[in-house]
Structure formats: structure tokens, C-alpha cells
Amino acid sequence: MRLVKRSSVCLVGALSLGLVACGGGGDDDGNTDTIDPNGTDHTFVAASLNLPENAAEAMQLGLDIDGKANDGVDNQLGMVLGSIGALAPDLDLQTAVDEQIDQGDIILLANVKATDLTNAPNVGFLVYLGDNPNPPACTDANDTTCRKHLTGTASFSIAASSPTDAAIAGRIVNGNFSGGPGTVNLQIALAGGLPIDLPLQRARAELSSVSATGWMTGKIGGAISQEDIDNNVIPAIGDTVRTSFDETCDTSTQGGTMANMCNCEAGETGETLRGLFDKMPYDCDLTNAEVQMVVSGFLTPDIDLDGDGTNDALSLGIGVSAVAGTFTPPPL
């Protein structure tokens, strides 16, 4: 059974990976690669998208977004998502993402344009939103496994809403691609909420063991501005918290109050969320302001985008794997 419709996909990477990287000039990290127009199109579809579920995974999926190698990897928002998952495991953000990948609600297409998949400079990494999988993801409404479009032989079309100028330049060394920085436009909807736009700046991509059949491990990361955190991320976290709270706390039919602990089932996630987020006034209503009060201490900017010496953006990194998938890439 589908968790949500396509209009509320949980995580879709619509990567507008900035043609700035294709302009021929170097960037702040010395990357002078441009995309070789003579490269062969190698087309893929994402088989998994992975959110950090704990601090260790946040570190594994992070990238050096600010270019300060001595600082290590950057994935501040990933750490927060991992912490929320650890505090309230019933939220199970990753399962929601997995189901939408399996059922074709998330279709992310990629083209690795390269003269060789073992060693090559001037490689292009181009990503699109996909549509019309053939075969369909699920055989019928009773199919509980789906993933029929992720066998490596399916074909797709590029969605009408997809950007077509999404590109990042990099290189492949010993089968491993590394590219960036660029910009990445992500759409995230936690726990089946409506999608929110998250433009990632200084975005990077790393793909391991790229071959004609896909890659098993990869990651994409970048920086989210404070404005997008306040206007998009925190309300989405609030929606997720309230959805889970309502599942095990009955505040509508039995008049939940602090006197009866919001009618939360003992030991369930709702009880944990009540204790974390229901601040003054204690009214069993978990507002965005209360959510922000709790999580803002964790959502501390760690990236300085404008170079003025003050951090003004939050880093995020996610994992991605892919299998072969056929589609016609637009011309560069």
C-alpha cells in the first residue's frame, strides 16, 4: 500500500548542479574540470536514498562542504535527523523513503557522461526527476514488494517538471567519481508531508565503483541557508513530530490535557515527543514554535556561504545508490 502520492514524495533530489562548474574556470578548491561533450552517456536510476539514522551514519554520509579539510566532514542537519531518529525510532524516516523508492514515487535519474568509467577527467554528473517507468514499479495494487523498475533493464522519461540544465563537473579515478562544488535542489517531505524545496549550495557528489550497471555507494551533500532552515526544515520537522504524536496520543476524542498526560500510550513515541516538545503552555499542542525552541539549539549553522566570517548555512549529506536505467538525456 502506498504511503503517499507522488505529490508528497519523501525525498527527491532534483539536482540543479550548476553549470558554473562547466564554465571552464577553476573553483575555490582547484577543480578545473569541464564536461567533455565527447563523453558517452551512461544512464542510471536511483535504487536507494539514505538519510542518516544516527550520528555515525551522519559522519559517513557527510562531505567536506566548506573546503576546510582540517574540519572533517560536514553534515550538521544529518546529525539532527539522526538524533531525532534515535530519540523517537518509531518515526522511521528511512522506511518512508525506502517505500517510495520501491513503489516509484521517487524516481531520480542520473547520467554520468564520461569517455571512460575507470579513469577520466572532465566527467559530467547530470541528474533529473524521472517519470513513466517501464515496466511499472508495482505489478498491481496487491504488490507489496514492487521495485520492478529497478532491475537494471527498465526505461524512463524525464519528468516535465525536471530541470534539464543540471550538471556538475568532476573526474573519475579508479572507478570513483568526485565532483563539485555546485548547487543541488532537493525536495524533502518527512513522514508523508508536502514536499519542501531545499536548495543546497556548495554541493558535492562522490560515487564509488561506478560501472555500466550502476554504483553501490555514493553521497550528495551541500549547505542549506538559514532562511530555508527556518521557513522549510523546521515546519517539516514539526509536521513529522505531530503526525507521530497523534498516532499514540488521543487529544481529540478524550480531551487530552497535561493532567492526563495528553492521553499518550505509556512507553510509546508520542509520550517521548510530548516530553520533548510540549513546552509552556502545556496544552498537548506541539507547535512549530515549540519544535523550533527544541531543535534550534541543534540546527546551528556550520557553513559560511558569503565569506564574512559568520556561519550562515547548515550542511546536509545523504546517501544514494543506482542501477542501470535507460532514458534519453537532453543535450548539454
Stretch 208-233: mean pLDDT: 91
The pTM of this model reads: 0.77
Q: Dig out the grid coordinates for 113 from the structure.
A: 557522461
176-188 and 313-324 beta bridge pairing = unpaired
CB within 8 A of 28, min separation 6: which ones?
67, 181
Give the pLDDT confidence score for residue 80 in this predicted structure: 80
3-state SS assignment for residue 101: helix
Helix (H) or strand (E) holding 234: helix 234-248
How confident is the prediction for the chain on average, in pLDDT? 81
Considering only residues 71 and 192, tell me which one the structure prediction assigns the higher pLDDT: 71
CB within 8 A of 37, min separation 6: which ones?
332
For residue 22, what pLDDT band results from cuts at 50, 70 and 90? very low
Asked if residue 156 has pLDDT above 50, the reply is yes
Domain extents in the chain: 6-226+311-324, 234-295
3-state SS assignment for residue 252: coil
For residue 114, what pLDDT band results from cuts at 50, 70 and 90? very high
Considering only residues 169 and 43, tell me which one the structure prediction assigns the higher pLDDT: 43
Distances from the Cα of 139 to the Cα of 1, 39, 133, 168, angstroms: 12, 36, 12, 35
Distances from the Cα of 107 to the Cα of 11, 135, 293, angstroms: 10, 13, 35
Task: Annotate 213-248 with b (16+ C-beta within 10 A) or e (fewer).
Answer: ebbebbbbbbbbbeebbeebbbbbbbbbbbebbeeb
Considering only residues 37 and 197, tell me which one the structure prediction assigns the higher pLDDT: 37
Beta strand ranges found along 55-175 (DSSP E): 108-114, 120-134, 155-158, 168-173
Asked if residue 325 has pLDDT above 80, the reply is yes
Q: Cα–Cα distance between 166 and 57 in angstroms, integer?
A: 27
Q: Dig out the grid coordinates for 151 from the structure.
A: 532491475
Q: Dig out the grid coordinates for 266 from the structure.
A: 505509556
Give the pLDDT confidence score for residue 1 in this predicted structure: 37
Give the pLDDT confidence score for residue 212 in this predicted structure: 98
Asked if residue 203 has pLDDT above 70, the reply is yes
Stretch 209-236: mean pLDDT: 90
Give the pLDDT confidence score for residue 112 in this predicted structure: 96
| Segment of 78-87, 188-197, 271-280, 320-329 carrying the highest mean pLDDT | 320-329
Q: Dig out the grid coordinates for 114 from the structure.
A: 564520461
Asked if residue 16 has pLDDT above 70, the reply is no
